[in-house]
Amino acid sequence: MDLTYSLRIMRGGGRPMSAAAIIPSCPEVLVLRHGQTEWNAEGRLQGHLDSPLTEKGLRQAQRQNEILQPYDLTGFRFISSPQGRAHMTAQIALAGLAAEIETSTELMEIGMGAWAGTTRAEIAAERKCSLHDLGQTQFYDWAPGGEGTARLYDRCAAFLAQLTGPAVLVTHGMTSLCLRLCALGWGLDRLEDLPSGQGVVYRVKAGHHDEL
């Protein structure tokens, strides 16, 4: 089966409608976003670039470890984005829990192209629009040379489709959102319906979403 073709169930704007057809029964996933970074604190978009965790970010990763400690993780795989901020978070959040932390480029953050390292205010000034006009997520599709949300969604769906059992996934803000959308069988039209906090652990299990 051609996975990319199978995901091209389009709605207006060219976004995939749903991953349900290709992921009829997604294994349980626990999804962690990396802790706050220096660029998060400055309001800068990171994309495939990186910046170190702040002291707050380190505490958030430790909080994730505390949340996971009592959870039965028997049979789980532990997979992290290879980007520094996520991998550092994984090392802290999974300390004493994971014998091995795998990495997958499929869990990297959405590519921001020419806008990586810029702020929303700088983007608004470039486009001669207000911050409100950028919206919460729609500007990710405008980034020159960026990946765009449809391709990120496809990437996340392809990653989840190859899972054969439960997994803890340490990733990034937009990637976390798309992973959970796909695991729920929801389309990109519901991108802004899910939370995207740091220092928390989200669970998708049997079609339901909650926070541990």
Helices (H), ranges, the chain? 3-7, 38-42, 55-68, 84-93, 120-127, 131-134, 149-161, 173-184
What domains does the chain contain, in order, with CATH numbers?
Answer: 3-113+147-211 (3.40.50.1240)
Q: Cite the annotated binding site for substrate by residue number.
A: 33-40, 85
Tens of pLDDT, residues 120-145: 899 989 988 888 888 788 889 999 99
Mean pLDDT on 15-29: 65
User: Catalytic one among 34, 106, 147, 172?
Assistant: 34
Active site residue 109: yes
pTM of the model: 0.88
User: Catalytic one among 28, 87, 102, 109?
Assistant: 109
Report d(CA 188, CA 142) in Å as an integer: 16
Active site residue 34: yes
Q: Cite the annotated binding site by residue number.
A: 33-40, 85
Asked if residue 55 lies in contact with residue 192, where contact means CB atoms within 8 angstroms, the answer is no
Average pLDDT across the chain, whole number: 89
Tens of pLDDT, residues 27-77: 999 999 999 999 999 999 999 999 999 999 999 999 999 999 999 999 999
How many beta carbons lie within 10 A of that of residue 19, not counting itself? 29
Residue 32 forms beta bridges with which residues? 170
